Amino acid sequence: MHSIPLSFPGASGARLSARLDLPPSGEPRACVLLAHCFTCSKNLNALVNIARALNGEGLAVLRFDFTGLGESEGEFAETNFSTAVADVVAAAEFLARRGMAPALLVGHSLGGAAALVAAGRIPSLRAVATLCAPYDPWLATGFLGESRERIEADGAATVHIGGRPFVVKRQLLDDLRGTRIDEALAQLELPLLVLHSAEDRVVAMEHAMKIFQGARGSRSFVALDGADHLLSDRRDARYAGQTIATWASRHLPELPHPKLEELPDAGEVLTVTGASGFRTAISAGRHVFIADEPVAVGGADAGPTPYDYLMAGLGACTGMTLKMYAERKGWPLEEVSVRMRHGKVHALDEARCASGQACVDHVRRELILEGPLTPEQRERLREIADRCPVHRTMTAGAEIETALVEG
């Protein structure tokens, strides 16, 4: 799993800490937004294992910490169920701005209840799934124990949940008391998957049945036999993630690759950049891969950058050229590794500086030659590296003709 640390402004303006988990292929079929349970964090083992299972099915996953929790900024005391719903919407908007609007929303425990309420405010969604979610969010106050009465009477109290101190104000109780999941379910027009366990000792199975019965659209139910509320067993979490991915597959969009009949012939390359973001599908003959830009410049880091591919082309051509030369000579070259670095450097010659070209592209190429080669053979191979076709194209320059054609 390739996990990218991110942050984005939550509903209150506080920076929320997040992780974008990408599938092994680097090209996600769709993006999933994952909301965690009350006072937990994005690093809950269950969420990490669910994300890995979803990644294995070709889905990208964004998991984040709500305001005041985990590594996110803000004060937990100033949050409530409504702010959690708003944070879910803010996370979806963050993904949409980067060309990865979520198609699937998954919520665990109270995060599942928040997902049901937030779903109507996220236009890109195709489906929603809940894990061990309460029908009545007021159930979450059970974590407060005897402190609940003190909060009601004094307006606030410090409580310890999971070994950590939290300041809880009465406004949180008031907000939970006034939340109506039945109204959100009545307005939900998306396919819904409800996952729950009869062995859940925190949220009883009856909550799952009420959610299932309250939904008006397409709905499915899966029993997580033997699982506890936090899906502590990795096998339970992985099973839940795989089940969600399989169920959602019929509702998610197709891969953004060009269609097979549109792929170019040998010797041609086709690239397709979508309407949002920078993610680009690339086809070279029958080979399909992806390019993107880093998160720092507005991309989603779903694949190498164009310059990464340029360096990869030079490195690959260098290695192939050296292998061909060594084979013709009968030299014992066993393996070639090429490490590439590209950057801009200040021009040293006066002619370029005078013309206004103060910086030029600089590529450092490091060769690692494996095999019982003599010093003379190694030096000769270093010289041959400068003669590879891609090297010659880059140093000699290429005439590029650009034409507009019908799509």
Contact of 60 with 21, CB cutoff 8 Å = yes
- Strand-pair partners of 342: 363
pLDDT value for 257: 45
The candidate with the shortest Cα–Cα distance to 46, out of 188, 237, 292, 254, is 237
Q: Would you kindly state where each structural domain of the chain is located, as residue ranges?
A: 2-140+172-248, 260-396
Q: State whether residue 32 is helix, strand or coil.
A: strand
pLDDT value for 359: 65
- Side by side, the strands of the sheet bearing 104-108 are 2-9, 15-22, 59-64, 30-35, 104-108, 127-131, 192-196, 219-223
Contact of 315 with 295, CB cutoff 8 Å = no
Its CATH architecture, for the domain 2-140+172-248, is: 3-Layer(aba) Sandwich (3.40)
The verdict on domain 260-396 having CATH code 3.40.50.460 is no
Give me the half-sphere count of Cα atoms (radius 13 Å) on the Cβ side of residue 273.
Answer: 11
Contact of 154 with 168, CB cutoff 8 Å = no
Q: In this structure, which long-range contacts are made by residues 338-344, counting pairs with CB atoms below 8 Å and at least 24 apart in sequence?
A: 338/314, 338/365, 338/366, 338/367, 338/368, 339/315, 339/365, 339/366, 339/368, 340/311, 340/312, 340/314, 340/315, 340/364, 340/365, 340/366, 341/311, 342/307, 342/310, 342/311
- Tens-level pLDDT at each residue, the chain (407 residues): 578 899 999 988 999 999 999 887 666 788 999 999 877 888 889 999 999 989 888 899 999 999 988 899 998 888 888 999 999 999 999 999 988 899 999 999 999 999 999 999 999 999 999 999 999 887 767 666 777 788 788 888 887 665 677 787 888 888 888 888 999 999 999 999 999 999 999 899 999 999 999 998 899 999 999 999 999 999 999 999 999 999 998 888 654 443 434 555 556 788 878 666 787 878 777 677 778 888 778 777 777 899 999 999 999 999 999 999 999 999 999 999 999 998 877 655 544 545 555 567 889 999 999 999 999 999 999 999 999 999 999 998 888 888 888 76
